[in-house]
Structure 1
Amino acid sequence: MADADMMQLYSKRILALAADIPHLGPLPDAQGSAMKRSPQCGSTVTAHVRLKEGRIAGFGQEVRACALGQASAGVLGQAVLGASREDLARATEQLEKMLREEGPVPDAPFAGLEALIPARDYPNRHASILLAWQAAVDAIDACAEAADGARDARG
């Protein structure tokens, strides 16, 4: 990757998002957690959620990823509280399409993902960019599985 390409890809905005990730760390009273790993680069993100009435009331994330994955997690962390599973699944799909140049920037409140448009040209980075989003959706699904298991245990 040429130096000019690196400068465009790792803009000040991406580096700022990566340096200030909201809700960093585990969530002690999480109802569901999920870890996602990119086999391409080894990046991992673990998301922890607590739900109230089907929306995220508490969130934590453990991010071990490149600056692009960290920036993506930063955008997620800024707007995740109050989001539903459907909101995050839609944003994840929109992000995938944006990266493949098949769609626009995700809808608000996740429009900050436009900072990652320069990553379109680097498909080997897309998996890391998507990790936080996929982990958050899977963590919500884990809440439902835990609730179903508790109901089954009660009989």
Structure 2
Amino acid sequence: MIDDLYSREILRRTTQLQHVGHLDEPQAAVDKTAKLCGSTIHIELNVHGDVVTDFAQQVQACALGQAAAAILSQHVVGATTAEVIAARDALRGLLKGEAAEFPDRFADLAILASVRDFPARHASTLLALEATSEAISSLNQF
């Protein structure tokens, strides 16, 4: 069963984190922690109009959190804020066992379907998208 959770594809994704580090002048920054496992993420981003124009992250997470952060990092620059929120919502739904339709650019998040059967791992899997969505929301409050 644990082999299903940590599939070869999920483990491969853990090595593909992009945009690691900090931005010079981020418009928004968010720190989040998955309380159960202690995974943490720091997200910084810039948005112009409704498009993410720059993104940086620092990830200290399990393989599932790293895989999700890697997929996000590969596709977030150039994504609309609505696409990021929709990806978060689709991943939440997927983990709850609901039918999930990811925006095309985030379709690879579907590889995380095996996490559905491990509720204790949901928070770490959602961490990157939750933090990025929170950063986007903080920009819309002004």
3-state SS of the aligned residue for 1:59?
strand
Counterparts of 2:103 and 2:83, CA distance in 1? 10
3-state SS of the aligned residue for 2:127?
helix
Contact conserved, 2:83 with 2:103, CA < 8 A, in 1?
no
Residue 72 of structure 1 is aligned with which of 36, 53, 68?
Answer: 68
Aligned to 1:153: none
3-state SS of the aligned residue for 2:104?
coil
Shift of 1:55: 1.0
TM-score by length of 1: 0.85
Shift of 1:105: 4.8
* Map 1:35-74 → 2, pairs under 5 A: 35-74=31-70
Ranges in structure 1 where 5+ consecutive residues have no aligned partner: 149-155
Deviates more, 1:68-77 or 1:19-28: 19-28
* Map 1:100-119 → 2, pairs under 5 A: 100-119=96-115
TM-score by length of 2: 0.93
Q: How many aligned residue pairs are there?
A: 142
Amino acid at match of 1:23: H
Ranges in structure 2 where 5+ consecutive residues have no aligned partner: none
Contact conserved, 1:21 with 1:70, CA < 8 A, in 2?
yes
3-state SS of the aligned residue for 1:30?
coil
Does residue 136 of structure 2 align to residue 140 of structure 1?
A: yes
3-state SS of the aligned residue for 1:45?
strand
Contact conserved, 1:32 with 1:50, CA < 8 A, in 2?
yes
Does residue 126 of structure 2 align to residue 130 of structure 1?
A: yes
Q: Compute the RMSD of aligned alpha carbons.
A: 1.4
* Map 1:17-36 → 2, pairs under 5 A: 17-36=13-32
Contact conserved, 2:90 with 2:101, CA < 8 A, in 1?
yes
